[in-house]
Chain A
Amino acid sequence: MNEAELQAWVDGRLPPDRLAAVDRYLADHPAEAACLQAYREQNAALHALFDHLLDDEVPVTLAPPRPEAAPARPSTPAWSIPAWRRMAAMLVVAVGAGLIGGTAGWTLRGAGTDSGGLAAGGATQALAALPRQAAIAHAVYTPEVKHPVEVGADQQQHLVAWLSKRLGKQLRPPQLAKQGYELVGGRLLPGDNGPVAQFMYADASGQRLTMYVSSGQKQNRDTGFRFAQEGNVGVFYWIDGSFGYALSAAVGKKELSQIANAVYEQLQP
């Protein structure tokens, strides 16, 4: 009896005529039959051991971002993860370079213009830095599987109290269920002018969205919505008093703008 047929017997894949032949053979070879029966039990046991995983909810972090409804050009899909990764790499370089330049600039400003307020150029630069930093933070943390956030949404009270304390402002992470996004959690990040809070959301398909709240904005003026495109990540940002807000996601501008409006409305006291 050939080995392949015996294995096929174990898996129940023999055609009827061969099945009868193998059955006859096994009737005459009880030791071999016992082994094959044990193999069949292995099959069943493997299913018993692992099949429950099929019913587990798949972590949203494992899904690729949902493509936008508008047909993307196949050659350069706007939503492709490697593009995220490429951008993350580019941005990390940008952060590296920015740290050197940024620190020097910050020191100069601190030493020279503290009492006189920021030069107009400096303010513009600081404003432009907000979406870039938000996009960097978005690109760095959204692909994380194990540690996308420091504190999960299951500890929302603690999360909000903690980040509010560090930023010196009562924060309320917006509820975006209507827009299809659930809060995943948040983390604390360093910003140019002080601590930054990042709230992360995800929709059912795994598309992630981050809300970046930075303290210490010194423009002393509120702004309307502004939009910046950083690689694949679109960012809506605005300044409200001494706080800067930036909403980032690799989705279309229109969809992001609707979410940004919902966020803005909820942040109004």
Chain B
Amino acid sequence: MQELHGRLLACLPRLRRYARALTGDSASADDLVQDTVERGWSRIDQLRPDGDLRAWLFGIMHNLHIDQLRRAPPPAVELEDGDLPAAPSTGSLDMRDLERALQQLPSAQREVLLLVALEEMRYEDVAALLDIPLGTVMSRLSRARENLRRLMTGQAPAATLKVVK
């Protein structure tokens, strides 16, 4: 159990990074991490002995995040074309623009993009973690990237996006 505790502690930095990228602010992120760790630790005996602790914790975080979104939908307005961020003049990726654009993605797209691009999880593992077909992972990934690219270059996004005020 000490060993498992140590392994769980080792997962915390990655859980925090993902939660921060997912929620867009550090206070919500740490709340989400704390809830995840509490739920995970309380059900640690449900983890298969050969189970991947990190993927398991990410799955718990995903479910908690979905619950939160359901319980308290953030006030959102449809994004108008005129609201789009201006194209960066240098053509390089501006970090603040990237962060803002990321938060404008639909949550389901943002999640897949972060699990693939930031966490570098296998597509199959992302599908298992989110409990969706592999094809859905790939299409969400594709749409997330294209929407992010358009947001960063000031073009209208392909899909209807919501901007959180």
Give me the interface of A with B, judged by CB distance under 8 Å. Answer: 3-4, 6-8, 10-11, 13, 35, 38-39, 41-43, 45-51, 53-56, 58-59, 61-64, 66-67, 69, 71-72, 74, 77, 80-82, 85, 145-146, 205
> Which chain B residues numbered 111 to 160 have a C-beta less than 8 Å away from chain A?
113-114, 116-118, 120, 123, 135, 138-139, 141-142, 145-146, 148-149, 152
**29 A-B residue contacts at CB 8 Å?**
A4-B123, A7-B123, A8-B123, A35-B146, A38-B152, A43-B117, A45-B98, A46-B98, A46-B114, A47-B117, A48-B95, A50-B17, A53-B20, A54-B14, A56-B13, A61-B34, A62-B12, A62-B33, A62-B37, A63-B8, A64-B38, A66-B2, A67-B1, A69-B2, A72-B1, A74-B45, A145-B30, A145-B34, A146-B31
B13–A54 CB distance below 8 A: yes
> Which chain B residues numbered 1 to 43 have a C-beta less than 8 Å away from chain A?
1-2, 5, 8-9, 12-14, 16-17, 20-21, 27, 30-31, 33-34, 37-38, 41-42
Closest 6 interchain pairs by CB?
A: A53-B17, A82-B42, A64-B41, A45-B93, A43-B117, A4-B138
The DSSP consensus for interface residues of chain B is: helix
Q: A49-B95, A81-B41, A145-B34 are in contact. Are A39 and B12 (CB under 8 A)?
A: no
Bound-complex Cα distance A56 to B45 (A): 29
B95–A47 CB distance below 8 A: no
A205–B42 CB distance below 8 A: no
Is B67 part of the binding interface, using a Cβ–Cβ cutoff of 8 Å? no
Is B80 part of the binding interface, using a Cβ–Cβ cutoff of 8 Å? no
B30–A59 CB distance below 8 A: yes
